[in-house]
Structure 1
């Protein structure tokens, strides 16, 4: 069984000695001690170290426990590490401050060895559970390659980005697919459901007001219930994506190719680039509010397993 590394931070030498004794006999725990917040922060930043739990004294000169806790929780690489605060003061305000800053648990000095070890083991178990769930989520995303049919609907530009990232994982080459899927979804929102014209978008992009206008139009009563729908279908030939909006359509023919006349416009190349880089083909149906994009199955790469 591999050892879990525990970082103990306390400015009192006697406390470090006591804690070291408490952890004696815990063969699955490796102890690393520091006597101040700055040294602890340096140890946490050292890429050679990997701590699973931090046992942190609240009251220390210089960088105190709360300050170090806030640094830990603000660092994406460290935020998931459970931090157990230890303190001689147990006022509700101080405990609330620590919990709001992200402390996993509070231990009030003096405490018993068995109580300390129980909390450390509980923190380790919770951290392992969270890690397992994250790995499982990644496995599910990878497993999207097994998806043959799916239906989705979105309303906002932010949702379009999230859905594009998700569905791209089900395509033969995700990195190539994501830009094209995003382009079709965003076009469905802004030009379809929200009725934004090409010239309006150009002016808004140049004045850096595009996002504000999208948000304004999204809140209008006539648009609040409009959605863009995406159908995903996989066959032996490849992947077919059907994107349908609830707008009036647009004159799509001239946007399938890159027009030099629009070369200096801040927009207008998305569909053509998607056709070249993301999809094997794009065609439109209806009034232009239905886009059908196909991605051929690469040779030697199965479309379903």
Structure 2
């Protein structure tokens, strides 16, 4: 196991890099040291698991093909363990067939890089993954509050327009549902889509560029101040019956074609965005249906 120390007083971010090729680990160490991360290394899945059990790891960069325990087996073990379920895993490998990519995604990899990859692409995806994990952790802390009375809500309507309101309202709504943490993920993603893509008109390619180059939050704040956007609001409608909870999210955008985002597309798996709807459908809701226009989504949780 190798380590590199992060200078300064800020809290260290630990990345576990797992690859059976020492040369590849040396490259990752060089890349991550420049960013100030603390790096742990392992050359197979068994050693990597031993490190995970002992260390507080923020992110895993994982090779697919390794001896003793391969990347897919380790990934499945990570995602089956409650402590690590929210830990982002970036799989990096030369195995890039559609079937292999799909297997990695279904096992729990949020990001999939094909070798060889560009340094800046890797680092941008690492930053995006860490930011997503930080955001999720903050939301989970909010959801952990004892708000059981919210489950008595039968019907309610809300309006929201910015990121802070998304954070507050998603915590409220998920607390009103069973499996709060699962619902939290999906509601947050769909509300963010309504704000950024719906009301503010940020395209898929624009968000991809902002996530890679930086400036996503700043761009949202900037657009919220523009005359063409500042009066737009999104709506969330909540209704509970004896058999189901229905959550409907509506934006004032022109709509989009949601079909290609309903499943994780292996052709886009190296992008830092574009998987929120598919993951929401998989882990958060029993039913997720967009209107034909695409600016209204109805989600159901069966009780």
Q: TM-score, with normalisation over the residues of structure 2?
A: 0.51
Q: How does 1:103-252 map to 2 (within 5 A)?
A: 141-252=147-258
- SS of match in other structure, 2:172: helix
Q: CA deviation at 1:167?
A: 0.8
Aligned partner of residue 232 in structure 1, secondary structure: strand
Q: Decide which of 259, 282, 289 is 2:265's aligned counterpart.
A: 259
2:47 aligns to what?
A: none
Q: Distance in 2 between matches of 1:218 and 1:150?
A: 25
- Secondary structure of 1:231's match? strand
> Whole-Å Cα distance in 2 between the matches of residues 239 and 206 of structure 1?
37
Q: How far apart are the structure 2 equivalents of 1:182 and 1:262? A: 21
Q: Deviations over 1:45-65 (max 9, x none)?
A: xxxxxxxxxxxxxxxxxxxxx
Map Cα deviations across residues 209-262 of structure 1 (whole Å, 9 max, x no partner).
111111111110111111110000111221100000001011111001000011
Give the match's secondary structure for 1:229. strand
TM-score of the superposed pair, with normalisation by structure 1: 0.51
1:131 corresponds in structure 2 to none
Q: Give the whole-Å Cα distance in 2 for the aligned partners of 1:251 and 1:149.
A: 29
Q: Which segments of structure 1 move beyond 2 Å, counting only runs of 4 or more?
A: 138-141
In 2: Cα distance, 1:169 partner to 1:178 partner: 8
Give the 5 Å matches for 1:12-91.
none
- Deviation (angstroms), 1:141: 2.3
Q: Which residue of 2 aligns with 1:295?
A: 301
For 2:231 and 2:292, locate their aligned partners in 1 and report how far apart those are by CA, in whole Å.
21
Q: How far is 1:140 from its partner? A: 7.8
Q: Which entry has the higher C-alpha Rg, 1 or 2? A: 1
Q: Secondary structure at the match of 2:147?
A: helix
Aligned-partner Cα distance in 2 for 1:253–1:217: 27
CA distance in 2, matches of 1:156, 1:266: 21
Which residue in 2 is equivalent to 1:270? 276
